[in-house]
């Protein structure tokens, strides 16, 4: 014979169900907000939650810290005691290139730091007298200073464009501070002497903006049209990425930094030998001019639709003398690979960091 529940039992069951549902919903909301992270330890790509590009549109907050000659703006996610990962953006991009990657890595226990490079976002020079230097070794020094300021002894470094070059330099010159490296477009360390060598016309055409910046008209044009200029670069570099205005505008705001134009123009003029750097970086540049090998575990990545200038992987594979893998990320992925393919990028970070 079937026994029916009393009204008191039904109410008790209902309260128990609602209580469990409330706890489940709260846990889900904390996870979405980035407030609950996996415990530090050995992670695997399979541990990552699956997300779609553009799932996230903001960071919880942007912090500031004095580091070297800068007050650096940076986003941070994950447990403070987790293994550190530093994600470095390029030009003309910013920390939002990693807005989906950072929470993915944080969810499996990494401490993720995403700084604005000098000349971007909320990063500022501490002194108005400091030369606005964009040479690559200066940006690499900034990373070391940031690690010191945040008391990070060793980190996995990952980047693209300027960020990849900066990460390459840190890995080459300070291998004791770099646990592993993820570099889009591979080995980007160069010298001013190599920058003086002419390329075939088709290759030179890809660097049109570099020659534009070599002129005062170029400086004035970038100053006046930096928003439109950056959007054009995004379209050329990622021809199959149909980004919307909101996505672009979130990053474009960082180009309003008062030092942005000076840093960008100096960077490209320095590469061509048209602007001088600072003596304090001369020894570093001499070492970089020798093309030092990178010994730390490395994964290089390339999107199958990268419209920006980039070397063929076969030309640099031997520069990585440690454990090394190269991956092509398919699906119409362009130059801004972390933002276009965050899942694949985060998986590469974990594979390199845990190798």
302-318 average pLDDT score: 97
| Torsion over CA: 177, 180, 183, 188 (sign) | positive
117-139 average pLDDT score: 98
Distance, CA of 222 to CA of 216 (rounded, Å): 10
Q: Can you give the pLDDT at residue 192?
A: 87
Q: Can you give the pLDDT at residue 36?
A: 52
Q: Can you give the pLDDT at residue 33?
A: 40
Q: pLDDT tens, 297-306?
A: 999 999 999 9
- Does the N-terminal peptide bond of residue 92 adopt cis geometry, omega within 30 degrees of 0? yes
User: Could you tell me if 267 and 147 are in contact, meaning their C-beta atoms sit under 8 angstroms apart?
Assistant: no
Q: Can you give the pLDDT at residue 246?
A: 98
Distance, CA of 264 to CA of 222 (rounded, Å): 9
Q: Can you give the pLDDT at residue 165?
A: 98
User: Could you tell me if 138 and 113 are in contact, meaning their C-beta atoms sit under 8 angstroms apart?
Assistant: no
Q: Can you give the pLDDT at residue 40?
A: 60
Strands 111-115 and 62-67, by their bridges, are unpaired
List of long-range contacts for 145-150, beta carbons under 8 Å, 24+ apart? 145/67, 145/68, 145/69, 145/70, 146/65, 146/67, 146/68, 146/72, 146/74, 146/86, 146/113, 146/115, 147/84, 147/86, 147/177, 148/67, 149/65, 149/66, 149/67, 149/68, 149/72, 150/65, 150/67, 150/113
User: HSE on the CB side for 123, CA within 13 Å?
Assistant: 26
Count, residues in the chain: 355
pTM of the model: 0.89
Distance, CA of 73 to CA of 67 (rounded, Å): 10
Q: pLDDT tens, 140-191?
A: 999 999 999 999 999 999 999 999 999 999 999 999 999 999 999 999 999 8
User: HSE on the CB side for 33, CA within 13 Å?
Assistant: 8
Q: Give all domains of the chain, ordered by start, each with its CATH number.
A: 44-353 (3.40.50.1820)
5 pLDDT band, cuts 50/70/90, is very low
Q: pLDDT tens, 13-70?
A: 444 433 433 333 333 333 334 445 666 668 899 999 999 999 999 999 999 999 999 9
Q: Which positions ≥6 away from 23 have C-beta within 8 Å?
A: none
Distance, CA of 92 to CA of 254 (rounded, Å): 9
Q: pLDDT tens, 253-292?
A: 999 999 999 999 999 999 999 999 999 999 999 999 999 9
The residue that leads in pLDDT, 9 or 310, is 310
Q: pLDDT tens, 86-125?
A: 999 999 999 999 999 999 999 999 999 999 999 999 999 9
Q: Can you give the pLDDT at residue 39?
A: 61
Tokens of 189: 């360390």
What is the rounded end-to-end Cα distance, in angstroms, of the chain?
63
User: Residue-wise over 86-123: b if at least 16 C-beta within 10 A, else e?
Assistant: bbbbbbbbbbbbbbbbbbbbbbbbbbbbbbbbbbbbbb
């Amino acid at each position: 014979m079937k026994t029916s529940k009393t009204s008191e039992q039904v109410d008790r069951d209902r309260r128990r169900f609602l209580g469990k549902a409330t706890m489940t919903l709260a846990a889900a909301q904390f996870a979405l907000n980035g407030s609950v992270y996996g415990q530090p330890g050995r992670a695997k790509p399979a541990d990552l939650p699956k997300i779609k590009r553009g799932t996230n549109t903001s960071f919880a907050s942007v912090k500031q810290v004095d580091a070297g000659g800068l007050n650096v703006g940076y986003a941070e996610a994950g447990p403070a005691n987790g293994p550190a990962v530093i994600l470095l953006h390029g030009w003309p991009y910013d920390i939002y290139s990693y807005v989906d990657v950072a929470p993915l890595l944080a969810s499996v226990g990494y401490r993720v730091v995403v700084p604005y490079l000098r000349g971007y976002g909320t990063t500022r020079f501490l002194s108005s007298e400091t030369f606005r230097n964009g040479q690559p070794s200066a940006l690499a020094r900034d990373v070391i200073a940031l690690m010191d300021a945040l008391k990070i002894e060793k980190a996995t470094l990952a980047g693209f464009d300027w960020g990849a070059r900066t990460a390459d330099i840190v890995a080459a010159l300070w291998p004791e501070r770099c646990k592993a490296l993820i570099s889009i477009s591979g080995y980007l360390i160069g010298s001013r002497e190599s920058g003086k060598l002419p390329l075939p016309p088709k290759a030179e055409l890809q660097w049109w903006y570099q020659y534009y910046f070599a002129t005062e008209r170029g400086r004035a044009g970038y100053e006046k049209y930096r928003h439109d200029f950056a959007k054009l670069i995004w379209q050329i570099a990622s021809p199959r990425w149909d980004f919307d205005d909101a996505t672009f505008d979130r990053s474009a705001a960082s180009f309003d930094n008062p030092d942005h134009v000076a840093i960008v123009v100096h960077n490209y003029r320095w590469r061509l030998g048209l602007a001088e750097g600072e003596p304090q970086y001369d020894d570093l540049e001499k070492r970089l001019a020798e093309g030092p090998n990178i010994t730390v575990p490395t994964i290089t990545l390339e999107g199958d639709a990268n419209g920006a200038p980039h070397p063929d992987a076969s030309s640099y594979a031997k520069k990585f003398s440690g454990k090394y893998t190269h991956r092509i990320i398919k699906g119409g992925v362009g130059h801004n690979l972390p933002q276009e393919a965050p899942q694949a990028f985060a998986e590469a970070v974990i594979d390199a960091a845990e190798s």
